[in-house]
Amino acid sequence: MKKIKIYESLYRKNPETGRVIIDIALEDYQEFFHIWDNSAFKKRDIHDELVQFLYLCSEDIPLKRNIEIVFSLQTGEKSKEKENLIRTSYINYFCSVKRLERRKTKRFIRNSLILLFIAIMLLTLYGLLIPIKQESVMSKVLFESLLIGGWVFTWEAVHLLFIDIIEPFRRHREIDRFLEAELSFIYL
């Protein structure tokens, strides 16, 4: 018996392309955009609840599966201009999110390199000063502080570089999937 995956019971699948379909019902085109964003430009914001819904759906679907987003509109009028405006706003939104995630990843790498540099400096200083006799309590505390500080900074650099960076890389893949998603419209 074939094992059914949970997301397959929640979402439809496009039989032609094999993409997983995320269905979104809208009253009209304006529901796609943020309520307070009245700009007429192509950089209008997507409604916050819609973005949260898309991320929630994306968590259910494995990253290796491509998605298709189908907007079901209650309006009887079909407007290619408004469809293109939604497509442009959708792409602009996820491109800006991708830029923010790229900055976050660079910041993680930069911070971990700074921490690693500090750790190397502390451990090198410890190695250079170890031949000096440690007669007083203060000198012993200083040497131990250099050693412990060096290892703590090393661990924090490794933690940032190899553990904390996993989430931004996952987000990159998720955002790329949103950018590659097909957008279609159905009129009811």
pTM (2 d.p.): 0.79
Token pair recorded at residue 125: 């200083």
Q: Centre a 10 Å sphere on the Cβ of residue 96 and count the other Cβ atoms it contains.
A: 13
Each residue of 29-70: pLDDT tens digit?
777 876 555 555 455 578 888 999 999 999 889 989 999 999
**What are the tens digits of pLDDT across the range 159-180?**
988 888 888 889 999 999 999 9
Give dist(CA 54, CA 61) in Å, integer: 11
